[in-house]
Structure 1
Amino acid sequence: MRMEGTSAHRIRKWLPPVSVAFLLGILIGFRFSPSIYLLFLLLFPVLIFMLLFVFRPFPGGGIFVLVTFLLVGAIMARLQAISQDDQVFLQLAQERKVAEIQGVVASQIFQGDHVYYFDLKVKRLTDLERDWGTNKKIRVLLPLGKEPDFERGAVVTILGKFRAAEGNKVQKGFLKDLFWEEEGPEILFYGFAGQAKITKKSGGLLAALLQFIHRRATLSFERYLGRDQAAFMRAMVLGDRSDLSEDLNNDFRDTGLFHIIAISGQHMTILSSLLFALLNPFPISRRAKVFLALLFIAFYGVLTGLGPSVFRSVVMAFVLMLGMVLGRERDMLSSISLSLVVLLAINPQLVFDVGLQLSFLATLGIVLLSPFFLERLERLPAWLAQIVAVSLASQLAVAPILAINFHRISLIALIGNVVVLPVIPPLLGAGVLSAALASLVIAFTRPLMLLMDFILRYLFWVVHLLAELPFSTLEIWSFGTGGALIYYLFLFSFFPVWQKIKLNSRQRRIVGVAVALLLLILLLAFFLFPETPPQALTVSVLDVGQGDSILIQSREGINILVDGGEDPWMAYEKLRKKGVRHLDLVILSHPHEDHLSGLLKVIEKLPVGAVLDGDSGSNSFPYQEF
């Protein structure tokens, strides 16, 4: 039965404010740590008034709905904060005790530079003195050597040590520094060589089927495509980005096109549309088509590992399609709101996840801003206007998140999307279809591989060409949470208000030019503002993880850097966050990698006056590159 129109309309109307209240409640719970007993005490009377309002509406009663969800959000945040799992892992990392963990392998097994790594859903933990039951997912690293002979879904027991990740590089989103008092390190588990034992080989028939499809698809990509092309298709279709080259990664990031590689809502939308197109000739009902699409999306999500971005996309797709089953018109704002509530209810800490912020803000930007741009692009062909409007809206919506977390914004993302997006549906469709055919006979995929090879050659050529353009990427290091909040307040209020203001075309042009000039002045002031030296001689020990790095600054504006640590990027990032735009002198104390490696990126990215080197005569590759 369909819901009554008035009831459905009321629910849709309330979903956006309810999701905001729930979000604020979670933030309050994490930031201010209110007593959970007080929260429950407040919840009961408010809940009674909310139920009264739901069944017998009265003026002003809606406030009780919002307060109820705010309190529920705060309670859920407090309940998760009280969880002991993280504290136990951190304690074991600090004590450096040997521990044994047992759990289910929850991802593919990836190979890094020095380790194999995968996610493990830990079920049991012991430090050989105490024993805990848990249900926490953690990243496990094993030394290179014999490749692990277990796969996703297997139950394994591993002996090793917990460690706090040096220099914590995990991105937590622009809300983290405002609402989370103490970031804390990421906890990893380092397994000892040869100490990973299989308790249960397979996760069952479904896990075996998924592994079979994954292996056959990988074989077909590697047989018929070049190395970079095969790695790209594995990332795009299977969610396995372990073999993507650094150059390819950088090209797609610098052009703002990495969303093409990462499995996201865009992938689910394309695949759902292709599936509906395939089912259209068959005489089956709309609900049956939606049901088949839901089954496909669920299976595809599990096939790709059901990581955070995939899980978000699956939830969003389910919400949208269930709305179609109920026979309601698409209401994207309500769907976004409901998806947000569902995801945060499952894991409140996702509010600090960069991926979730990018995903929902991009979608929100498309919903709220793209109609404004479409009206002004009516002279363009419809398909081109749609791509430009959607790309511009999403880029404007995610710019602060990219600036805060990745310190770079692509200035050519709009152009890149226009010339690249039209080829993505056939590429993704061919990739998924070839994965299915490879499960039968790999040779059947050859015609599809020829199509993919042609598209990939074009795609790589365009992306590399755009990435090589001067000023294709803008680095931003001084943009904080306060600036982001002001930006979003302006962005999501200006365009809706602008559409409602009664101005003639000449007045609108004047106001538009004035706003554009104001933004240009602010931008120039931001980037041309001179580097501010400290008031006195300052010596800063930079947190670069493994190794050492020391910055010396004088009141005259002289900057000296001694060593750069081991991480290729961390010293450079720390310098830029401190506002350092040049170095007068770089000193390498000795050519060990934990002092040298970080200097390579510093010298590449920043103007350096002179370099002082002990000239040890080392023959190592990093030293020769230095």
Structure 2
Amino acid sequence: MTRPGPRGAQPRDGVHDDGSRDDGSRDDGSRDSCQQIDLRLVPVAVALWAGALLGLGMSLRAALMICAATALGLVPLCRGRRRRVRAVAGLAVLCLTAGVVVGASRAASVRDGPVAMLAEQHAHVQVDAVVVDDPRLRGSTSGGDEAGPDRPYVLTRLRIDEMSGRGSTYRLRTPVFAVSSDLSWVDLRPGQRLRVSGGLSPADGGDVAAFFRVRGDPELVGRPGLVARMTEPVREGLRGAVAVVPGAHRALIPGMVVGDESMMDSELREAMRVTGLTHLTAVSGTHVGIVLLAVLGVARLVGLRGYVLPVVALVSLIGFVLLVRPAPSVLRAAVMGSVAVAGVLLAGRRRAVPALAAAVSVLVLVDPWLARSLGFALSVSATAGIVILVPVWERSMAWLPRPLALAVTVPVAAQLACTPVLLAAFGQFSVASVPANLLVAPAVAPAMVLGLAAAVVSPLWAMAASVLAWLAGIPAWWIARVATWLASQPGAEFSWPEGASGALIGVAMALAGMAVMPLVLRRPKLSVATAVVLVVVLLRAFPTPGWPPPGWIIAVCDVGQGDAIVLRAGERSAVVVDAGPDALAMRRCLDSLRIVDVPVLVLTHFHADHVNGVPGVLAGRAVGTAMVSALGEPAANARQVSRWLAEAEVPVHTPGVGERWRVGESIRFEVLWPRRVIVSAESDANNASVVIAAQVSGVEILLTGDVEPLAQQAILAAEPDLSTRIIKVAHHGSRHQDERFLAGLGAELALIGVGDNTHGHPSDDVLDAFRAAGIEVRRTDLHGTFAVVLTPDHTLATVTERR
């Protein structure tokens, strides 16, 4: 028998404390991937999460009643025979109860206090409050409907400390969302105390007691908080440094470094969403992981070892959190990122899963509102997928070097784990997400590290910061290019059922993926074949069966809340009337219709929901002439459209009433409006819309832009014999319609371009009028992108694109 040596004298199984083996190789954690995962804390985390979720929706009294019932229910459990079952069941029940109590007590302080009470009365109050988080600009700075709620506003989270209203004064600490049309509110910083008056309105759930609609200018009391004063010069210096970076991708650098998205335009933001790259600009666990890895790498290079490394990592993590603002989402990202890094590189999944469960438990107890947070659910899901699946999948890909195997398995595991949550919440499945994350992975760390260095240096040496920012712009350019190109592909994302059915589909897909992926990744040829199939689906190299349908004459693109109409002029040629609010959606629609030539682009007026998608029309297509409204309002939109068209060398034409155009062999149209600019209480820009009466393959179509009743009546007065078979309903089905113009033109089919909106479009009154007149209605929010076809017997039928 061999006697064991002293503790630490010999390596166990040939593996030393630093991970090296006797043969010179390294233990990369693959042995840990074979060990049983420690799941003992998982029921605790799940029970606390579920309890907090339940508690947030009930009163404190109901929560206390649940506690009493739980105490009685634990009695029979304690008498059970199996000690382990008793312990696990009892602990889960206690954690569920604790979550309910914590959630109910936190919700009660928000839901049942004086702020919520006065909000129900829509009271006018004066408050002393503190800015909690950076203000956010919402809406469109270029405007949607000029007089509508799409105008820009600032949303600011405040904590009310004192409130006076309805003859009483209250001292409290209650969160609200302040809504202000004064864009100067964007300049407020966390910790700033202010005194302001306004009206309260109910918040309808959530972690705030009310919406506070500000009236008048705030009276600033003191300076912003210490953290904001310390970090704002760094953040402002970074925004100034990136000015040397040419192109829209400069906006990615502040977003990736400190989560500042204020410089990003809507097109890039949408591309990042479609490709699953929003985590790069939202201070996610990815940021934390990169910061920790970069700091630990530098620390090792300078010779730091042992217990000094965790101290350096902790100090760096605290500094990073302060720089990007210690908001709940940032703290959550710090915890999740630290767990993910430890799980993949240090501890292995056996110890990482308990760490994740403990982190979830602590976070939910500290902030039970996280139980309702979609971001929290996605963060936990992604982290769980990484720490559980990556070690096994990386081991399966032994035929690749470890860095490449990690580059493949990390985004795939995260996307697979998040699929049930994404389908339940959005009803969208992104095919582009995995390849996008794979392609940008090499560029993320350089962009973020160089950008962070630029931010740190900027208060001290502006020129050096500009150089670092310019260097960061190179990988940022690659990330932006990948996002915009992949997002524009016709197979970038697919629609699925939302809610419970979507969640069930997602769970089934996730389980199937977990079972199949190790088998696929183990075989190089099968892995390559799977990647090829993914690319084919993404690019839609094979056309969608039945789309576009033969004999189509007009297509209505689903671009959200906006208009985008396509009139077929010939093979791969079309007249496009309006481009919607989303360039990516517009581009995908035209690509799916196989349109490469646009002889005429008609922009009925310059509201964002009709023109912001112009780059999607220009991308990869020849555009002959752009026909635009005579009224260049909103002015900022008109200037932007002019720049886009000038860069593409597209001539611009302002049409006159009575102009007749012929395009190809199948389209003829006449301009009916505007005869004059109508100045009234209605929207001037809407009433200046270009209205055309078209014939496509002999079918009469009336395209109305957003004209409102005064313009509609003027058109009818000038064209008393006007009739049509198809009418594009003005202003997305708004209730502001002239009755004869709406349903008295003999139309058989009404087309409505509409998406999620707060305007009430389309109006029930409008839909009722169509039903009463026997007019069939097709709308994009219900039917998606669809085309109208002329059947052999000259009747009209609609065909929906199946995605």
Question: Structure 1 length normalisation: TM-score?
Answer: 0.70
| C-alpha contact 2:179 2:212 (8 A) present in aligned 1 | yes
1:174 maps to what in 2? none
Q: Distance in 2 between matches of 1:202 and 1:298?
A: 20
Q: 1:85 to 1:227 in 2, by over 3 A?
A: farther
Q: 1:436 to 1:497 in 2, by over 3 A?
A: closer
| C-alpha contact 2:258 2:324 (8 A) present in aligned 1 | yes
2:101 maps to what in 1? 75
Q: Distance in 2 between matches of 1:162 and 1:443?
A: 47
Correspondent of 1:62 among 83, 88, 100: 88
Correspondent of 1:198 among 212, 215, 220: 220
| C-alpha contact 1:25 1:70 (8 A) present in aligned 2 | yes
- Other structure's SS at 1:108 match: coil
- Other structure's SS at 2:40 match: helix
2:469 maps to what in 1? 449
Structure 2 stretches lacking a partner, 5+ long: 1-34, 142-151, 538-543, 546-560, 563-682, 684-705, 707-725, 735-747, 764-777, 790-803
2:128 maps to what in 1? 102
Q: Distance in 2 between matches of 1:453 and 1:466?
A: 20
Are residue 158 (structure 1) and residue 193 (structure 2) matched? no
Structure 2 counterpart of 1:132, one-letter code: Y
Correspondent of 2:313 among 268, 278, 293: 293
Q: 1:605 to 1:48 in 2, by over 3 A?
A: closer
Are residue 279 (structure 1) and residue 305 (structure 2) matched? no
> Per-residue deviation at 1:262?
1.7
| C-alpha contact 1:49 1:61 (8 A) present in aligned 2 | no
2:387 maps to what in 1? 367
Equivalent residues in 2 for 1:509-588 (5 A)? 564=732, 584-586=749-751
1:115 maps to what in 2? 153
| C-alpha contact 1:50 1:62 (8 A) present in aligned 2 | no
Q: Distance in 2 between matches of 1:137 and 1:78?
A: 16
Which deviates the most, 20-29 or 294-303? 20-29
- Other structure's SS at 1:202 match: coil
Correspondent of 2:172 among 134, 141, 161: 134
Cα-to-partner distance string for 1:109-132 (whole Å, 9 max, x where unaligned): 444432233222222222252223
Q: 1:183 to 1:85 in 2, by over 3 A?
A: closer
Q: Distance in 1 between matches of 2:129 and 2:123?
A: 19
Cα-to-partner distance string for 1:196-228 (whole Å, 9 max, x where unaligned): 011222323x43111222222222122x22362
Correspondent of 2:250 among 230, 235, 238: 230
Correspondent of 1:411 among 414, 425, 431: 431
| C-alpha contact 1:49 1:64 (8 A) present in aligned 2 | no
- Other structure's SS at 1:286 match: coil
1:480 maps to what in 2? 499
Q: More helix by proportion, 1 or 2?
A: 1
Correspondent of 1:425 among 445, 453, 478: 445
2:68 maps to what in 1? 41
Are residue 213 (structure 1) and residue 213 (structure 2) matched? no
Q: 1:396 to 1:84 in 2, by over 3 A?
A: closer
Structure 2 counterpart of 1:407, one-letter code: G
Which deviates the most, 387-396 or 32-41? 32-41
Are residue 306 (structure 1) and residue 326 (structure 2) matched? yes
| C-alpha contact 1:115 1:144 (8 A) present in aligned 2 | yes
> Per-residue deviation at 1:10?
13
> Per-residue deviation at 1:607?
2.3
> Per-residue deviation at 1:436?
0.4
> Per-residue deviation at 1:107?
2.1
| C-alpha contact 1:143 1:193 (8 A) present in aligned 2 | no
1:465 maps to what in 2? 485
Q: Distance in 2 between matches of 1:595 and 1:128?
A: 33
Q: Distance in 2 between matches of 1:435 and 1:459?
A: 20
Q: 1:42 to 1:298 in 2, by over 3 A?
A: farther
2:555 maps to what in 1? none
Q: 1:227 to 1:122 in 2, by over 3 A?
A: farther
- Percent identity over the alignment is 21
1:614 maps to what in 2? none
Q: Distance in 2 between matches of 1:36 and 1:588?
A: 46
Cα-to-partner distance string for 1:475-500 (whole Å, 9 max, x where unaligned): 23x2322441464377459847998x
Equivalent residues in 2 for 1:314-463 (5 A)? 314-317=334-337, 331-463=351-483
Q: Distance in 1 between matches of 2:207 and 2:336?
A: 30
Q: Distance in 1 between matches of 2:216 and 2:74?
A: 55
Structure 2 counterpart of 1:586, one-letter code: L
> Per-residue deviation at 1:451?
1.7
| Larger RCO: 1 or 2 (CA < 8 Å, sep 6+) | 1
Structure 2 counterpart of 1:37, one-letter code: L
Q: Distance in 2 between matches of 1:565 and 1:87?
A: 40
Q: 1:36 to 1:560 in 2, by over 3 A?
A: farther
- Other structure's SS at 1:61 match: helix
Correspondent of 1:188 among 202, 207, 211: 211
Cα-to-partner distance string for 1:69-104 (whole Å, 9 max, x where unaligned): 122112222223333546644443342221122222
Structure 1 stretches lacking a partner, 5+ long: 1-8, 169-181, 521-526, 529-542, 550-557, 567-582, 611-626
Which structure has the larger Rg over C-alpha atoms?
Answer: 2
- Other structure's SS at 2:301 match: coil
| C-alpha contact 1:119 1:139 (8 A) present in aligned 2 | yes
Q: Distance in 1 between matches of 2:259 and 2:427?
A: 25
Q: What RMSD in Å do the two structures reach over aligned CA positions?
A: 4.6
> Per-residue deviation at 1:189?
1.6
Q: 1:110 to 1:601 in 2, by over 3 A?
A: farther
Structure 1 counterpart of 2:388, one-letter code: L
| C-alpha contact 1:374 1:385 (8 A) present in aligned 2 | yes
Q: Distance in 2 between matches of 1:600 and 1:430?
A: 47
Q: Distance in 2 between matches of 1:14 and 1:283?
A: 38
Q: 1:256 to 1:58 in 2, by over 3 A?
A: closer
1:258 maps to what in 2? 278
Matched residue count: 517
Q: 1:156 to 1:49 in 2, by over 3 A?
A: farther
Structure 1 counterpart of 2:97, one-letter code: L
1:606 maps to what in 2? 785
Question: Structure 2 length normalisation: TM-score?
Answer: 0.56
> Per-residue deviation at 1:271?
0.6
| C-alpha contact 2:56 2:103 (8 A) present in aligned 1 | yes
1:125 maps to what in 2? 163
Q: Distance in 1 between matches of 2:514 and 2:404?
A: 21
> Per-residue deviation at 1:11?
13
Q: Distance in 2 between matches of 1:331 and 1:63?
A: 23
Structure 1 counterpart of 2:51, one-letter code: G
| C-alpha contact 1:46 1:67 (8 A) present in aligned 2 | no
Q: Distance in 1 between matches of 2:183 and 2:498?
A: 43
